[in-house]
Structure 1
Amino acid sequence: MREAPTATFRPVFVPWIAVVQQLPFQLFFTLWAGAFFGGMFQTFLRPMLGAMSLTVSPAVFVGVLVFIGFPIVVAGTRAMNYRNTQYRLFSDRLEVEEGFMTLHEKRIMFRDVREVSIRRGVLQRTAGLGSVYLATQATGTGQAWSPFRLLGTGSTFGSGAMIMDIPDAGEAYERIRDLVDGTRHD
């Protein structure tokens, strides 16, 4: 018989946070795609179309398309990932299950955890959320340096994990910290 978890956490998807967090990427890709693909059109396709006139610049058309489409893709990706993400807390470990295209499962034994920290960013605080980070010795630079974190594509990396965007993060942090401290005394 499989052991029942002492607690289960699920991330909360907040659409406006997903859109605001990815705004710098959205602006960059809007300008880049408009210039690159608009320039490609000007260079390669316009001569083939001949005298046909366009009412809008190809760069502006592509830029607007990306500006509207990018947040839809990002929010959809994050929503689908969050829907399938579950963090199960046991007395000796954390089990993470996440993903929608590639499913990922991970187990972190509390005896291997070197640091437990909590993060409540400005946007998270406005929605009543926070994240709890578990680092092991081999974690490395961690989640903060991953550009894909903003896409909501994963909370596990290296050998650590982040329990992302959960309500009552302070309570979860205290509970996990107590469990980690308890395994060090056994």
Structure 2
Amino acid sequence: MSATPTFSQTPRQEQPLLVVRPRFVPDVVIASTLPLAIFLTLWGGGFCGGFFYVLFDKQDVNTPTWFPFVACALSTFFGLPLLVLIGTQRMYARTEYRFYRDRLEFEEGFWTIEKKMIPYNRITEITLKEGVMQRRYGLGTIELLTAGTATRPQQSGIELRDIPNPSEVYEQVKALIHTT
């Protein structure tokens, strides 16, 4: 007969002192994706366009020489930001940062879901960044850095991206972390 553990009391669920969620703004996501999209447009147009040009040439497909290059470039230029927009929107819908008395717990991700708990006494640095597009919409990024682990000896931590009212949240987070 196996014994099932029983608990005389259910622990009371602690309520977070602060809950922060990112705000999805398509313009901010597109602006951050644009440099990569331009680079990959040139690469996609050249490499993939060349591949399809050779493929079409071998199959005797009657298309203008420029067509595979332009088609691949346009597909990359519009397709990459569209995929990033959809992925970011779905990730932000799931993301929530919960600040408790002594720790931060969060869940984020879309394809890969990451749940993590960071005790405040492990946080070594707090930084607020507000990019040009973020400032336009009243958003910012708060970085919480921790000492690196054995598998990643550099700084590690978390970025709270596209947070509304970033200066106010930064001050609240700083006060929570410094009171422990």
> Hey, what's the Cα distance between the residues in 1 that align with 2:55 and 2:154?
43
Q: Deviations over 1:102-138 (max 9, x none)?
A: 1110111001111111111111111001121111121
CA distance in 2, matches of 1:14, 1:109: 30
The separation in 2 between residues aligned to 1:180 and 1:7, in whole angstroms, is: 12
- Using the size of structure 2 for normalisation, the TM-score is 0.85
Q: Percent identity?
A: 36
Structure 1 residue ranges, 4+ long, deviating more than 2 angstroms after superposition: 42-45, 139-142
SS of equivalent to 1:65: helix
Match of 2:62 in 1: 53
Number of residue-to-residue matches in the alignment: 165
Specify which of 111, 115, 120 is matched with residue 110 of structure 1: 120
* 1:117-169 Cα deviation digits (max 9, x unpaired): 11111111110011211111217666xxxxxxxxxxxxxxx3x1112111121
Q: Could you tell me how far 1:71 is from its partner in structure 2?
A: 1.1
**Where do 1:1-186 residues align within 5 Å?**
1-48=12-59, 50=60, 52-55=61-64, 57-138=67-148, 158=156, 160-183=157-180
Corresponding residue SS for 2:162: strand
Looking at structure 1, the residues matched to 173 and 58 of structure 2 have their Cα atoms a distance apart, in angstroms, of 64
* Greater helix proportion: 1
The structure number with the bigger radius of gyration is 2
Taking structure 1 as the reference length, the TM-score comes to 0.83
Gaps of 5+ in 1: 143-157
CA contact (8 A) 2:23 2:162 kept: yes
Q: Which amino acid aligns with 1:68?
A: F
| Amino acid across the alignment from 1:130 | G
Aligned to 2:167, the other structure's residue is in SS state helix
Structure 1 pair 86–17 and aligned structure 2 pair: CA distance change class (3 A): same
Q: 1:27 Cα deviation (Å)?
A: 0.8
